[in-house]
Amino acid sequence: MNFEFTDEQKDIFAAVKEFCDEELKPQAQEVDRRGEFPWDNVRMLGELDLMGIPVPEEYDGLGLGFLEWTVIGEMLSAACTTTGAVYGAHVLCVYPIMLFGTDEQKDKYLRPLARGEKIGAFGLTEPMAGSDAGNVQTRAELVGDEYILNGTKLFISNGGEAEIYVIIANVQPERGTRGMTAFIVEKGTEGFEFGKDEEKMAFPSLPNRELVFQDARVPKENLLGRERRGFRVAMETLGLGRIGMAVGAVGLAQAAYDAAIEYAPTRTQFGQPITQFQAVQFMLADMATEIEAARWLTYNAAWRKDQGLDFEKEAAMAKVYASETCNRVASKAVQIHGGYGYTKDYPVERYMREAKLFDIVEGTSRQPPAQRSPEGLKCYKSKYESRARKDT
Amino acid sequence: MNIIVCIKQVPDTTEVAIDPETGTLIREGVPSIINPFDENAIEEALQLVEKHGGKVTIITMGPPQAEEALRQALAMGADEAILICDKAFAGSDTLATSYALSRAIRKIGDFDLIICGKQAFDGDTAQVGPGLAEQLSIPQITYAIEVEVENKKLRVRRLLENAFEVVETRLPALITVVKQINEPRHASLRGVMKARKADIPVWTAEDVEADPLRCGLNGSPTNVVKVFSPQHEYKGEILEGEIQQVTQTLIQRLQEAKLL
């Protein structure tokens, strides 16, 4: 058992920390206020090699693990939640191509994604396929050398800004998950348009857009993996996605805690800084403890993934615990700021609004319990594995 | 073009503690960084090489831990780094330092341009760059804010107190750069990973064939008598009374100060 990072990891994280402190954090409030996709930040992520961390070096990535990706994502999210979310959504396009892509597909799509020259997005969610990811209605039909896609995706992070999309459609909707098929779709493809950009409670600068497919013509060679094996692509991607959500939540919780610990000693009431009051000390201590627990759950899930061990249960636990932690911590951070915390002069009101996202996305906090308890996990796994097995 | 950048590792603070006994800096517990102006020097070298081709070599004279500063420079994208390190160099003042650097540069041999930061953050002397140019008998242009290279000719805009001055010279030459010349880049992760594995040669006084009498304390005529942070006192005076009287007093004061 060793909880220490290697010297190389420490050097890498120190470089990212410096970048976060100097470039991302000072701009974070402005990024949120502007309501525009943070292209400047995203370009910098590319220049610093942060967009292809787990991608093998032969495809222009860094060839590092998901643990490194996790720790760096946490720092990005703590510095600028929106930029962290873009980084998290991007990998959900990178990873399935890395895992299931042909050499040609990797050459064409993985390289520019890893170099950060192009941004990726992952399109699974539909009006009727949220937590129930198997219920995808978007239709794909092979006509000659092209698949014709019809349907609508919803809430797609990076939608509209991303140039490369991994889309889960269905070649045989009547067969449910066994008809699901993954495709790589480029922005600009005929019949592929962007619909409504959702107006949300927070993250105005992060697009969550509708993807509309109306007889969209996707070349046959853009089939990702094999036909009717899309459910596995989706499940693999969502497994990583849960770690990603935990990463974002831990980063946000840390940012909220940092804001509280910076503010509290400067605030005097009844003739002393409020940190002298035990009630405030207890709050800060609880916040720190929960963040630490959430962080190690998350690191553990990422580490297990890197080791090739089962990590789905751990990822689900981390996702749920970290998202609930960030909601509690952000709320307490506002509490510690008092009236000022309710204003837009301080970032904590934003953190509190942003935190709710993590409770809801990538399987709501009320869904993964089925995957967290040993029995629930067994049911969940047998249900999905039997589907997956029949697929292969 | 081949560019050599001379850097210095300095304590990461402007208000370093000073040992009252010896008058020297207390370095324990203070994290070290690349002298900020030297980061501008590295950035300028990288930009010139990106434009004109060639390579960037970083050198520093310092204790073994100065290797860390060299690795940071490599992580930014420099091609090679050399540490000049020997007990014989301990206690070097700016003269002995520029001598030691000049010996190392003679050993490197082939170069077109040397870039230094305008001064170090800790000593603030701004002497090593110019001293080095003298030791090597090459032209020097200090306080560069803009640099252009064309046909072995160097054109530099200098930042002076109240003006810019544009100076041209032939290469090889030495320039020192000011903070405003560029925005130093962050190290990329690929750079960090490469820098970790890089081989950094350590050159001793013997390696660079330095004259022992011109090294370290032997070669340093400077004697530090006392080092201290000056107390800044900005005292304004508010003149009160009738407007005419105040105006007259003000004019009188300004005339006394020979400002009117």
Which residue ranges make up each domain of chain B?
Answer: 2-219
The reply to whether omega before A38 is within 30° of 0 (cis) is: no
Residue at B227: amino acid letter: V
* Predicted pLDDT at A269: 92
- The answer to whether B19 and B28 have CB atoms below 8 angstroms apart is no
Rg, chain B, Cα only: 22
The ipTM is 0.83
Question: Is the pLDDT confidence value at B151 over 70?
Answer: yes
Question: What residues in B contact A15, CB-CB < 8 Å?
Answer: 75, 186-187, 189, 192
Please list the rounded mean pLDDT of every run of 10 residues in chain A (392 residues). Answer: 92 96 96 96 96 97 97 98 97 97 98 97 88 85 96 95 97 91 97 94 95 97 95 92 96 98 94 94 97 98 96 92 97 96 95 95 62 55 52 44
* B82 φ, ψ (degrees, to nearest 5): -135, 135
Our CA dihedral for B221, B223, B229, B233, rounded to 10 degrees, sits at -90
Express as a percent the part of chain B with pLDDT over 70: 96
Q: What is the pTM (predicted TM-score) of this model?
A: 0.86
In angstroms, the separation between the Cα of residue A48 and the nearest Cα of chain B is 4
Pick from A41, A45, A49, A115 the residue to mutate for testing the B interface (most B CBs within 10 Å).
A49
Helix (H, G, I), strand (E, B) or coil at B235: coil
* Whole-angstrom distance, CA of residue A305 vs CA of residue A307: 5
- Measure CA B258 to chain center: 37
Q: Tell which CATH classification among 3.40.50.620, 1.10.3720.10, 2.40.50.180, 3.40.50.1000 matches the domain B2-219.
A: 3.40.50.620
Q: Which residue has the tokens 């509290």?
A: A264
Pick from A11, A12, A19: which is nearest to B186 by CB? A19
Question: What residues in B contact A52, CB-CB < 8 Å?
Answer: none
* Whole-angstrom distance, CA of residue A386 vs CA of residue A370: 17
Pick from B186, B188, B192: which is nearest to A11 by CB? B192
* Whole-angstrom distance, CA of residue A17 vs CA of residue A79: 9
**What DSSP string runs through A73-121?**
HHHHHHH-HHHHHHHHHHHHHHHHHHHH--HHHIIIIIHHHHHTSS-EE
Read off the pLDDT of residues B182-226 as tens digits, 9 standing for 90 and up: 999 999 999 999 999 999 999 999 999 999 999 998 999 998 887
Q: What is the DSSP letter of A107?
A: I
Question: Is the pLDDT confidence value at B39 over 90?
Answer: yes
Q: How many CA atoms lie within 13 A of B114 on its CB side?
A: 33
A102 token code pair = 């042909």
B55 token code pair = 């390579």
Read off the pLDDT of residues B43-93 as tens digits, 9 standing for 90 and up: 999 999 999 999 999 999 999 999 999 999 999 999 999 999 999 999 899
Q: Average pLDDT of chain B?
A: 91
* Whole-angstrom distance, CA of residue A51 vs CA of residue A79: 16
* Predicted pLDDT at A362: 73
- The answer to whether A187 and A158 have CB atoms below 8 angstroms apart is no
* Predicted pLDDT at B85: 96
- Record: contact A12-B189, CB cut-off 8 A: yes
Residues recorded for chain A: 392
B26's CB contacts (< 8 A; 6+ apart) are B16, B17, B18, B19
* Predicted pLDDT at A300: 97
Q: What is the mean pLDDT of residues B242-247?
A: 92
Q: How many CA atoms lie within 13 A of B167 on its CB side?
A: 19
Question: What residues in B contact A18, CB-CB < 8 Å?
Answer: 186
- The answer to whether A2 and A76 have CB atoms below 8 angstroms apart is no
* Pairing assessment for the beta strands A164-170 and A180-186 based on DSSP bridges: antiparallel
Q: What is the mean pLDDT of residues B149-172?
A: 94
Rg, chain A, Cα only: 21
Helix (H) or strand (E) holding A304: helix A278-307
A141's CB contacts (< 8 A; 6+ apart) are A147, A148, A150, A171
Residue at A135: amino acid letter: N
- The answer to whether B38 and B123 have CB atoms below 8 angstroms apart is no
What are the distances in angstroms from CA A2 to CA A14, B181, B214?
20, 45, 50
Helix (H) or strand (E) holding A75: helix A66-79
* Predicted pLDDT at A385: 53
Residues of A with active-site annotation: 362
Q: What is the mean pLDDT of residues B98-119?
A: 96
What are the distances in angstroms from CA A28 to CA A20, A80, A262, A351?
10, 5, 17, 11
* Predicted pLDDT at A129: 79
Pick from B70, B72, B193 the residue to mutate for testing the A interface (most A CBs within 10 Å).
B193
* Predicted pLDDT at A391: 46
> Measuring CA to CA, which residue among A250, A241, A253 is closest to residue A368?
A241
Q: Say yes or no: A65 contacts chain B, CB-CB below 8 A.
A: no
- Measure CA B15 to chain center: 18
Question: What residues in B contact A22, CB-CB < 8 Å?
Answer: 186
How many residue pairs bridge chain A and chain B with CB atoms within 8 Å of each other? 33
Phi-psi region of A228 (alpha: psi -120 to 50; beta: other; left: phi over 0): left
Pick from B192, B194, B196, B197 the residue to mutate for testing the A interface (most A CBs within 10 Å).
B192
* Whole-angstrom distance, CA of residue B138 vs CA of residue A198: 64
* Whole-angstrom distance, CA of residue B214 vs CA of residue B103: 11
* Whole-angstrom distance, CA of residue B173 vs CA of residue B169: 8
* Predicted pLDDT at B242: 92
Residues recorded for chain B: 260
What are the distances in angstroms from CA A348 to CA A243, A263, A331, A345, B229?
24, 11, 8, 9, 39
* Whole-angstrom distance, CA of residue A282 vs CA of residue A289: 10
A84 token code pair = 């962290």
* Whole-angstrom distance, CA of residue A359 vs CA of residue A319: 9
How many Cβ atoms are within 10 Å of A227's Cβ, its own excluded? 16
- Record: contact B192-A50, CB cut-off 8 A: no
